[in-house]
A and B are shown apart, each in its own frame.
Chain A
């Protein structure tokens, strides 16, 4: 299967790979997995005093599409408020990366990771969490 150019670009030059301090109050961490393939993805956001995401990092052990989806997600997250970040949809990732149907679950994984990271931050801050754990395609 041929990957799109954008996937290859993110795969070869992943943006924002790394870790943030998981124990910091200002950092939200989401670790999620894909049961279909056993891939795991960690996505972290750091939120500043204005409620804006000023840093985002990821680490993904999985296929090219999973890496590209999470890399793209971290790019999109920076500069967004919690509410704006909450609105990122896996379908937008599919569109941007031209993911084929068999790789849609990679984008779902990235959306799940974003939501899990945001909720982790909310929990730390004592803000009510949003949505249930399972997202839909």
Chain B
């Protein structure tokens, strides 16, 4: 699954030597688009500055009177600019993108989430659903609310744990890249399993918060 990685990738530039917009092939990944190393930690300020700079130079409004071929290049490049920036500016989305670039889609993970976690999520979902429709019974509502508050704390703590694990694994990833090596397989595996859980936690927290707010 490593075929997308080449050690000495050709440097890509959105503009050629004459300042004309280049055609962006699909082999150019988001990191290459911004001339960034494939690392977890990036210069976010630099990314933002480059985004605004490119936005100004690529914007289709500047090409309304240009030949069709140039208009199309500007449209394509602007669309790519936006999706690349959106993905890379967020540390979690960036980590998901980078790990998938390196080792394939997270949905193809062989490992399943721990059954305990699924059960915990399931119970919290049930509590959230019950809480929404138990308005008539003040006592029960009080109990359910306490359960939900506790579940919320628990999932927030889990999310914090996952973020800490990501920071640690990300640092190990970057260390390998800085040393000119491939990220260790163990780091990739762990990142895949931690990132594979993020939607579960986000989803259950959304449900729990919604239930707590609505009632």
Residues in B with CB closer than 8 Å to A36 are 107, 199
Contact with A along B103-117 (1 / 0, CB 8 A): 000110110110100
- Near B by CB (< 8 A), chain A positions 25-50 give 31-40, 42
- Near A by CB (< 8 A), chain B positions 78-129 give 106-107, 109-110, 112-113, 115, 118-119, 121-122, 125-126, 129
- Residue in A37, A38, A59, A105 with the greatest tally of chain B CB atoms within 10 Å: A38
Looking at B7-15, B25-33, B163-171, B200-208, the stretch in contact with chain A turns out to be B200-208
The answer to the question of A3 belonging to the interface, with a C-beta cut-off of 8 Å to chain B, is: no
Distance (Å) between the CB of B101 and the closest chain A CB? 18
A42 to B120, CA, bound (A): 12
The answer to the question of A1 belonging to the interface, with a C-beta cut-off of 8 Å to chain B, is: no
Question: Are the C-beta atoms of B110 and A33 separated by less than 8 Å?
Answer: no
- With A31-B122, A59-B126, A134-B110: A39-B203 Cβ-Cβ less than 8 Å: yes
Q: Looking at chain A, what size class is its interface with the partner chain?
A: 10 to 19
Size of interface on B: residues with Cβ below 8 Å to A: 23
The answer to the question of A61 belonging to the interface, with a C-beta cut-off of 8 Å to chain B, is: yes
Q: Which of A35, A59, A105 contacts B200, CB < 8 Å?
A: A35
Residues in A with CB closer than 8 Å to B113 are 33, 35
Question: Are the C-beta atoms of A32 and B107 separated by less than 8 Å?
Answer: no
Question: Are the C-beta atoms of B125 and A61 separated by less than 8 Å?
Answer: yes
Question: Are the C-beta atoms of A134 and B112 separated by less than 8 Å?
Answer: yes
- With A36-B107, A39-B203: A31-B115 Cβ-Cβ less than 8 Å: yes
A38 to B117, CA, bound (A): 12
Q: Which of B122, B203, B204 contacts A42, CB < 8 Å?
A: B122
Distance (Å) between the CB of A106 and the closest chain B CB? 13
The answer to the question of A133 belonging to the interface, with a C-beta cut-off of 8 Å to chain B, is: yes
Question: Are the C-beta atoms of A61 and B122 separated by less than 8 Å?
Answer: yes
Contact with B along A72-113 (1 / 0, CB 8 A): 000000000000000000000000000000000100000000
Which 6 pairs across A and B sit closest by C-beta, in order of nearness?
A: A38-B203, A38-B199, A61-B125, A38-B200, A31-B118, A35-B196
Using A33-B113, A35-B196 as known contacts, list a sample of 18 further A-B pairs with CB atoms less than 8 Å apart, ordered by residue number in A: A31-B122, A32-B112, A32-B118, A33-B112, A33-B121, A33-B200, A35-B197, A35-B200, A36-B107, A37-B203, A40-B121, A40-B125, A40-B200, A61-B122, A61-B129, A61-B207, A105-B107, A134-B110
